[in-house]
Chain A
Amino acid sequence: MSKRFSKMGWIVLAALLCLSLVLMPGCTTEPAEQEEEEEEISIPFKNPDTFIEMTIGDAESLDPAWGYDTASGQQTTLIYQTLVWWDGETSDVVPVLCTEYELLPDGVTYRFKIREGVKFHDGGDLTPEDVEYSFERTLVQDRSGGPVWMLDEQLLGEYYSPDAGFAAIDAAVEVDGDYVVMTLADAAWAIPWLQVLAGPWCSIVDKEWCVANGEWDGTEATWMDFHDPLSGSSYLWDKTNGTGPWMLEYWDPGIEISLVKFDDYWGDPVQFERVITKKVEEWTTRKLAFLAGDCDLAYVPLTYIDEMEGIDDIQLYKDLPNLTVDSFFMTFDIDPASDYIGSGALDGEGIPTDFFNDIDVRKGMNYAFDFDVYIADGLSGEGAQRGSPVIDGLTYFNPNAKMYSKDFDKAEEHFKAAHGGDVWDNGFKFTLLYNSGNIARKTACGILAENLYAINPLFQVSIQPADWRSVMIPNLVTSKMPMFQIGWMADYPDPDNFAFPFMHSQGTFSHFQNYSNPEVDALIEAGKFELDPAARKDIYYEIQDWYYDDAPGIMLAQGFARKYFTKYIHGFYYNPMNPVYFGPLWDMTKSES
């Protein structure tokens, strides 16, 4: 009897187990069920004087001269201040730690009157000497891979400060009574320099505090000891002393950073007693915390924006244009050692190393791409096609710039003309890599591969996900990838900051694709140093036309941002140059009303 019963028990339990697996809610729910469930959700009001952000990034360093990532820039922007800052939503600047500034008639000398009565967090007073020291310290440090190249270029006329020498660093920024005088390397930098000055890398630090804690002493004798330091060796790496409205309370790397209000802040009072940025990689955890009122702003990846529909207590700001753009670069001279070009010949089993050197191949690729599908599927509609790297938000953006659109007939026409007709007759095979997990880039690869196959079944492109660090970067910097996707984010909103890396033969990306057009190089160099705005506009319009005509890549889209706040946060406005993800917190408030 007991034996029979135990068999029955087994059956019943197995059935229960199967039922439970079917009936138990999974990690995702059907959209209809989800909406029904979420419509009832209201977000409770919690932590009245604290602003909490949950995001996926963490600061690399709190040393303003080191940080080049937005997560670091966010924290240093709240802790430190710069001489000037963005005026509301514009790319103009207004004085912050200076009270006024002027450009002298020579066109290269700026005079900044330093604000009085400003206190550092440890009690020290802001002086013109602090400002001079801050810039010189930044130029001296000039770490590899850091942001200081902008200062090197505009103040010293070099890309690395050691090339200019200490005398040039010393002379670039000088104190003159209550003023600080800065001498630019060229008059062409007069406008971009004010934009560079608003960047977190131009934050002002306290000289006495730095020197007392073992930082560079300001002398020529020691400057090379502090040049290009190893990661983490600067005292300011994780210790701060700025003039901003909040000061560092603690930094738990990879977990959270907590800032606390600075009582002696010189500016208008701020509401938030604390600003906490938490790194929460798991989306479900972030979402639940947001809905439970445990954070005021959550980073929502594009793939999950549907889950945020139908929740009443959310404030959504959308279609905010980022100063970023992604492009599909075509490599003009592929390394023959590449694993991604098949046979390496135009025999239907691969592509030759100079495959993309033919303008007809490049134009054919552009006509084969479906930009609308890319924006709809890859970016969930959150972007706009651009014709060149000079995107909306940059000076001299041409809203009527020529752009490609999907046209299989024209693509066919160009492919038939490419490489003496061999491309069309023999077909080709190559591999596209994308960094695994990046939906937009995977979508772009898929669109291109499918459309090429639809144009001619002999055009066979395989797609392969790859790790960004161990596979993509090493292949990218050695020109082994036939095509690669990568994006650029503005350092400052000048068209040169985009045209150069995308189109100049020495540009960060164009260099790796071996793209070189002497006429384009000459135009970019002319644009960089042109003083007359009308002439400069003509140059950048011409550069934008060149991108269409020369088609060195498939210019994809300028992405749009979304910000999800709870309804309790007020006062947000958007400036794409503000590295603080949650906006101008000093002007923002939180209340239950």
Chain B
Amino acid sequence: MELRSYIIRRLLLLIPVLFGVSMFIFGITMLFSPTQRATLYISDPRQLADLPAVIELYGLDQPVWSQFTTWLGQVLSGNLGWSKVVGMPVWEAIWHYLPATLELAIFATPAIIFLGILFGTTAAAHKDTLVDHGTRVGAIVGWSLPTFWLGLILLMVFYGIFRGFLPPDRLSVQMNIMVNSAEFIRYTHINTIDAILNLNGPVLLDALRHLILPVITLSVVNVAFIMRLMRSSMLEALGKGYVLTARAKGLPERVVVNKHARRNALIPVITISGYLFAALANGVVITETIFIYKGIGWWAWQAALNLDIPAILGFALFNAVLFVLVNLVVDILYTRVDPRVRLGGTVQ
């Protein structure tokens, strides 16, 4: 199948997916009573007497279908509604909070994949040796560490004991003032990319300094995921006939492992890596909160806590789009890694 028509076909699938997701989430949120949903607009007990007025103003006591069609009508006209918890339109909130999360995902995903593949390959190539056991135990320990614990410990050590060496937040006060000034153009709101585009070294270095701890936290916790998969996939590949052939040809072990076996073992890792990126890009609440690296996960968390229904729906739609797109990219990547895979067809 031609790549373009394949992409179009897959993107068209988004329509029923989005409709289904929104119906489902909307249905769940309607299980809350109008009073429960009106509490979103109450920031102080002094306002409790005005709950009935709030319910009427926002039409929270309207029939469910009426509220859904109103919302759907808004969405179709390009308006995803108003996110009360952050005081801005939902669409704007997604774009506002996404860059911080993307920045984390952009740096953490390659680190996790690289380390996962490296450790997985090494462990498989040295199966049942100390290297194998050490790598696996290390990875599992990392996987078992709660993010909030590891994040806080790293912060206590590198910000607390080493007095401000690796601080939380996205930028220091001075650099924040700089990026918010008229001289600095915020193309993407991803600080590292903007710093490069503005040719601003100090902002770039500062942004990287602030990325180190959250990226380490995410990597330590997630690397075992890739590593375990890579190890088993590699072991399977190493047992295949073509590896035996390669060895019989007298190829060096390094070439056999890295070129012949590893490339074939990558397919499941690519699948998982896609989901890993999607999982990181739809927010990592605890990491974002501990390191004041607030992104879309923090926003969704706040929305859920406060029953900010337009925000919850907007986030669900964003997630659906993200996963469909990631799936698509993963499918296309298969064809690049394994020439036998054909788009829209079967493995030849």
Contacts and interface: CB of A to CB of B under 8 A. Distances in A.
Do the two shown chains form a genuine complex with each other? yes
Interface of A: 2-3, 5-6, 9-10, 13-14, 17, 24-27, 44, 46-47, 50, 52, 60-61, 68-69, 144-146, 228, 230-232, 237-238, 249-250, 252-255, 258, 274, 276, 278, 280-282, 284-285, 288-289, 291-294, 468-470, 473-474, 476-478, 486-489, 491, 501, 508-509, 511-512
B47 A145 contact: yes
Contact of B57 (A68, A230, A237, A288): A230
B86 interface: yes
Contact of B292 (A27, A278, A291): A278
Interface stretch (B66-74, B235-243, B298-306): B298-306
A506 to B, nearest CB: 9
B152 A474 contact: no
Contacts of B298: 254
B79 interface: no
A36 to B, nearest CB: 14
Interface in B73-97: 82, 84-89, 96
Interface of B (DSSP majority class): helix
B141 interface: yes
A512 B133 contact: no
Contact of A281 (B128, B152, B289): B289
Nearest to A72: B43
B137 to A, nearest CB: 5
B43 A2 contact: no
A237 B134 CA distance: 56
A285 B130 contact: no
Given A27-B153, A470-B39, A473-B42, 10 more contacts: A6-B130, A25-B156, A27-B148, A46-B173, A52-B173, A237-B87, A254-B298, A254-B302, A278-B169, A294-B164
Contacts of B45: 486-488, 508-509
Interface stretch (B29-37, B222-230, B316-324, B333-341): B29-37
B307 A284 contact: no
B5 interface: no
B98 to A, nearest CB: 14
A145 B42 contact: yes
30 contacts: A6-B129, A6-B132, A10-B133, A25-B153, A25-B156, A27-B149, A47-B173, A50-B173, A145-B53, A228-B53, A231-B41, A250-B180, A253-B88, A254-B294, A255-B292, A258-B180, A284-B156, A285-B155, A288-B168, A289-B167, A292-B159, A469-B36, A469-B40, A470-B307, A473-B42, A474-B39, A476-B48, A489-B44, A489-B46, A509-B48
A2 B167 contact: no
A512 B49 CA distance: 9
Contacts of A512: 48
A52 B40 CA distance: 29
Interface in B117-175: 128-130, 132-134, 137, 141, 148-149, 152-153, 155-156, 159-160, 163-164, 167-169, 173
A250 B189 CA distance: 14
A230 B82 contact: yes
B289 A477 contact: no
Nearest to A283: B152
Given A6-B133, A238-B87, A469-B40, A288 B173 contact: no
A284 B152 contact: yes
Interface in B175-206: 176-177, 180
A469 B42 CA distance: 9
Contacts of B155: 284-285, 288
B253 interface: no
Contacts of B168: 285, 288-289
Contact of B36 (A276, A473, A501): A473
A501 B47 CA distance: 11
Interface of B: 32-33, 35-36, 39-51, 53-54, 57-58, 82, 84-89, 96, 128-130, 132-134, 137, 141, 148-149, 152-153, 155-156, 159-160, 163-164, 167-169, 173, 176-177, 180, 289-292, 294, 298-299, 302, 306-307
B48 A288 contact: no
A203 to B, nearest CB: 18
A255 B294 contact: yes
Contact of A231 (B47, B87, B132, B167): B87
Contacts of A276: 173
Contacts, number: 168
B32 A470 contact: yes
B87 A470 contact: no
Contacts of A146: 47
Give the 10 A-B CB pairs with smallest separation, nearest first. A145-B47, A144-B53, A145-B50, A469-B39, A253-B86, A292-B164, A474-B35, A69-B43, A9-B130, A13-B137
Contact of B167 (A17, A282, A292, A509): A292
Given A231-B41, A253-B88, A13 B292 contact: no
B44 A69 contact: yes
Contacts of A281: 289
A237 B129 CA distance: 64
A197 B85 CA distance: 29
Contacts of B306: 469
Nearest to B174: A47
A285 B133 contact: no
A44 B163 contact: yes
Given A230-B82, A469-B306, A24 B87 contact: no
Nearest to A20: B141
Nearest to B42: A145
A274 to B, nearest CB: 7
Nearest to A50: B173
Contacts of B42: 145, 473
Given A6-B130, A9-B133, A473-B39, A254 B177 contact: no
Contacts of B35: 473-474, 477-478
B92 to A, nearest CB: 10
A350 B57 CA distance: 38
Instruction: Pick the most buried of B87, B163, B292, B294: most chain A CB atoms within 10 A of its CB.
Output: B87
Contacts of A14: 137
A501 B289 contact: no
Nearest to A8: B130
Nearest to B100: A255
A285 B292 contact: yes
A281 to B, nearest CB: 6
A22 B277 CA distance: 33
B44 A293 contact: no
B54 A145 contact: yes
Contacts of A478: 35
Contacts of A258: 176-177, 180
